[in-house]
């Protein structure tokens, strides 16, 4: 592992699990049903948060939005629509991948949104 990647991964304070919604056949009854299936488990990662405040010319309070970004190893393939459960700083939250990742040689950055349901 190169020095830059090693330095980036020292900043990882979280652990994540990636699950997908897929059809699974029961081996006994041969009946298929959709279930959450783990794709990746116990992957080191880091969540980053950025607050964005927007104002308009109308009367009323400013709108505050938060952008959540996941930093994780570049070789991991996380499909769109996956459920990503991250535990960091003693909190566990569920997210969904909201777009294509920015992949660099030493890490990838994935914008996340709160998980609501599988698409």
Report the SS3 class of residue 7: helix
* Residue 14, CA distances (Å) to 11, 45, 60, 90 in order: 9, 5, 37, 9
pTM of the model: 0.82
Beta-carbon neighbour count of residue 76 at 10 Å? 16
Q: What is the pLDDT of residue 54?
A: 66
Decide if 78 contacts 55 (C-beta within 8 A).
no
Q: What is the pLDDT of residue 70?
A: 97
Q: What is the pLDDT of residue 58?
A: 65
pLDDT means over runs of 10, the chain (119 residues): 91 96 93 95 96 68 83 94 94 90 95 87
Q: What is the pLDDT of residue 97?
A: 87
* Phi (first) and psi of residue 91, to 5 degrees: -115, 145
Which residue's entry shows tokens 């330095």?
Answer: 7
Q: What is the pLDDT of residue 68?
A: 94
């Amino acid at each position: 592992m190169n020095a830059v990647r090693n330095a980036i991964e020292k900043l990882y304070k979280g652990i994540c699990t990636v699950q997908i919604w897929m059809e699974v056949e029961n081996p006994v009854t041969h009946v298929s049903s959709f279930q959450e299936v783990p794709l990746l488990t116990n992957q080191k990662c880091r969540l980053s948060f950025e607050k964005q405040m927007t104002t308009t010319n109308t009367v009323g309070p400013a709108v505050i939005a938060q952008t959540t970004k996941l930093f994780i190893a570049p070789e991991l393939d996380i499909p769109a629509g996956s459920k990503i459960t991250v535990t960091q700083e003693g909190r566990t939250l569920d997210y969904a991948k909201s777009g294509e990742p920015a992949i660099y040689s030493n890490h990838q950055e994935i914008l996340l949104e709160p998980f609501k349901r599988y698409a």
